[in-house]
Amino acid sequence: MSGEAGRRRLRALLRLAGVRSAGDLAIAENAFVHESHAKERGGASNERMEFLGDSVLGFVTASWLFERFGDEPEGLLTLRKAAIVNDVQLAITARRLGFSDLVRLGAGLRTSGGADNTSVLADAFEAFVAAVYLGYGLEKARKFVIAEHVERLDHSTGAPLDSKSRLQHYAQEHLSATPVYRETSRGTPQQPAFSSRVTVKGKTLGTGSGPSKKAAQQAAAEAALFSLAQPQP
């Protein structure tokens, strides 16, 4: 979406952050320019803004969690933060806000469904947070992130979050590694049963079982997250 229709949509998004007089929309428009579009058409992509927005998003989220869960240890707060800022959750919010209509993609990526790609949408969300911060200040960026993303998620202890995504985010951010899963089958075609072991840098963090490889991996990831959340001696 481009032209005046796109600018109207941007102004509506900025109003969600408390911006009543948007002024020049150039920064906000740039938040939706994917690298593939910039390579085809020229100009700047949203990559630098994505970098900044990631840090703003992380700071706002960490501050909110620090105040909301005042008695929780650092390990559990870290896992909560990972569950909030992972690409899957950011893309869900971006879809709800209509980012798919605003992202500008190269012809090939758009044809292959890139406007609904989780990574593309998550990057655009981070870039838009940066645009709000750069154009209107930290308080407006905080208002947008909290009201439109953080407070719309389930923060209960048993919230149905994707354990694999949470573990991957944690491992990449804090351990500079990607979890590796290994499965074994111990069932029958009629009653399949799988066991999974997840390791990071060769160290086993958790094991789990389930009726499918995916379920076993989720169980192993959940066990790993529980282990990581425990106070270290």
Distance CA 81, CA 85 (A): 6
Which of 54, 123, 148, 222 is labelled catalytic? 54
- Strands of 175-219 (E only): list them: 180-185, 194-200, 203-210
DSSP state of 24: -
Q: Is residue 126 among the annotated active site residues?
A: yes
Other C-beta atoms lying within 10 Å of the C-beta of residue 221: 26
Q: Which residues pair with 127 in a beta bridge?
A: none
Return the H-helix or E-strand segment holding 14. helix 3-16
Distance CA 62, CA 84 (A): 10
Spatial contact of 208 and 220, defined as CB atoms under 8 Å apart: yes
Sheet containing strand 180-185, strands side by side:
180-185, 194-200, 203-210
Which of 50, 126, 148, 222 is labelled catalytic? 126
Which tokens is 46 given? 């949203």
Which tokens is 12 given? 């509506």
Amino acid at 157: T
Spatial contact of 79 and 69, defined as CB atoms under 8 Å apart: no
Q: Is residue 162 among the annotated active site residues?
A: no
Active site residues: 54, 126
